[in-house]
A and B are shown apart, each in its own frame.
Chain A
Amino acid sequence: MSDPTQVLAFETDCHIFDGCGFPGPGLHSFLFEPLWGDPEGNAYFNKPMLLALLGSLVIVGFFWAAFRKPKVVPGKLQMVAEAGYDFVRRGIVYETLGKKEGEKYVPFMVALFFFVWMLNLWSIIPVAQFPVTSIIAYPAILAAIVYLTWMSVTFKRHGLVGGFKNITGYDKSLGAILPMVMVIEFFSNVIVRPFTHAVRLFANMFAGHTLLLLFTIASWYLLNGIGIAYAGVSFVMVIVMTAFELFIQAVQAYVFVLLACSFIQGALAEHH
């Protein structure tokens, strides 16, 4: 922690006209010196991990405070938590899966939504200021859980042959192009789908964080001579992008859960 580069991820004493280049953000901005352990091996603990676990605690703490002793006539906190819960339950799960089929998946989707949202939110929370979901591992593990869920649902609902038909979009009326459709559908559903599911969230957060870093670093870097005027502009962009990120974080969490629901819906759907 003594070396400032580990905290701020760029040279703090570097300004324009000082003869040093712009220390732009890059992949290195998404790597952290471990707080504990050896980065070469598989036993280490770094800032994103800490934020992920802290995020869990924040969510559990919030819902614990709100729902531990819920009341028929809700207090303010319970009302807010209920609104969030109801948003996922009615707005996402019931909308896609219906009340009867969807009820079972409500806890999973609620947990998924608030977990993703929280990990995204770290991006603009002071001191943390890093979206955990911009590290591929976190979206990947969540996408994998969703993938396993809808895959098992497919085969449980339709059996081995029926499940395979479901995944490959088997439809006799397609005639001669059926084999081609089956190959494309199989490829799209089994291989591409979980990948894009994870990467969609990862890339949005990665890009958002990079933009925030870019303008933040530029605000600091330009703070010299005539550059000060431009630093102001850059700082305004930091504010604007922060607000924009706030929006994107919620949208991406929503999209992630909506897609998870639509995958399960596809798994449950009867094919002809």
Chain B
Amino acid sequence: MNLLVLAAERENPLIPPIPELVIGLIAFVIVFGFLAKKLLPNINKVLDERREAIEGGIEKAEAAQTEAQSVLEQYKAQLAEARHEAARLRQEALEQGTALKEELRAEGQRQREEIIAAGHAQIEADRKAASQALRQDVGKLATDLAGKLVGESLEDHARQSRTIDRFLDELEAKAEAAR
């Protein structure tokens, strides 16, 4: 049969022939059946798994981050504590040093004063000894000189009368007063 004749017979292209409707339906149902019953549920399952895997990964990462954060906090706290401790130790050392210095200074002062005092006492003692010796010598010299001048020994007399001593005491007192 010629196609042109066939076309003339089926004038309206908008009227669907039944067999083609049936084949169209079958063809679509095949596609729909496979996709809806088997293939799309398959892929949906895998897509869900993938989403879970990704979410699991995110959760893991979040947990790791939280842990890292807590460790960081811990380190920071420890560091702060150590710093605090160091500051405290430094302060303590400073205080101890100051106290020590103070003590040493006081000790030095005391020792110096002791030395000075000892020196003074020594000087005083020496002076007294010297003065004693000098007095005796001067008295002897004076009586000797006077005895030579008078021609007789005045020594015993003078010694008994203590005149020279008195004289010398006076001289000394004068010197004291004048000083």
Contact = CB atoms under 8 A, between A and B. Distances in A.
A136 B15 contact: yes
A100 interface: no
Contact of B31 (A5, A45, A60, A199): A60
A117 to B, nearest CB: 11
B46 A71 contact: yes
B49 to A, nearest CB: 5
Given A60-B31, A67-B42, A111-B32, A141 B21 contact: yes
Interface string A35-49: 000010011110011
B10 A142 contact: no
Nearest to A116: B28
Contacts of B16: 135-137, 140-141
A62 to B, nearest CB: 10
Contacts of B40: 67, 85, 106-107, 110
B147 interface: no
Contacts of B149: none
B177 interface: no
Interface in B6-50: 6-7, 10-11, 13-21, 23-28, 30-32, 34-36, 39-40, 42-43, 45-47, 49-50
Contact of B42 (A39, A43, A68, A72): A68
Given A43-B19, A70-B43, A137 B1 contact: no
Contacts of B175: none
Interface string A205-230: 01000000000000000000000000
A98 to B, nearest CB: 18
Interface stretch (A23-31, A155-163, A184-192, A253-261): A23-31
Interface residues of B, number: 38
Contacts of B150: none
Contact of A56 (B11, B20, B30): B30
Per DSSP, chain A at the interface is helix
Contacts, number: 133
Contacts of B32: 107-108, 111-112, 115
Interface in A135-166: 135-138, 140-142, 145
A263 interface: no
Interface in B93-123: none
Find the residue from A9, A66, A68, A107 having the highest chain B CB count within 10 A: A107
B28 A145 contact: yes
Contact of B27 (A52, A72, A82): A52
Contact of A115 (B7, B20, B27): B27
A56 B32 CA distance: 9
B36 A111 contact: yes
B13 A206 contact: yes
Interface in A104-135: 106-108, 110-112, 114-115, 135
A96 to B, nearest CB: 19
A6 B15 CA distance: 22
A63 B46 contact: no
A56 B53 contact: no
A270 interface: no
Given A5-B3, A28-B7, A72-B49, A67 B27 contact: no
Interface in A39-98: 39, 42-45, 48-49, 52-53, 55-57, 59-60, 63-64, 66-72, 78, 81-82, 85
Given A33-B1, A70-B42, 10 more contacts: A9-B3, A42-B17, A48-B20, A49-B20, A52-B27, A53-B30, A67-B39, A72-B46, A135-B16, A141-B24
10 contacts: A28-B3, A53-B30, A63-B34, A70-B43, A136-B15, A137-B16, A137-B17, A138-B20, A141-B24, A142-B28
Interface of A: 5-6, 9, 26-28, 30-33, 39, 42-45, 48-49, 52-53, 55-57, 59-60, 63-64, 66-72, 78, 81-82, 85, 106-108, 110-112, 114-115, 135-138, 140-142, 145, 199, 202, 206
Which 9 A-B pairs have CB atoms at the shortest separation, nearest pair first? A137-B20, A137-B16, A107-B36, A28-B7, A70-B46, A111-B32, A141-B24, A67-B39, A52-B27
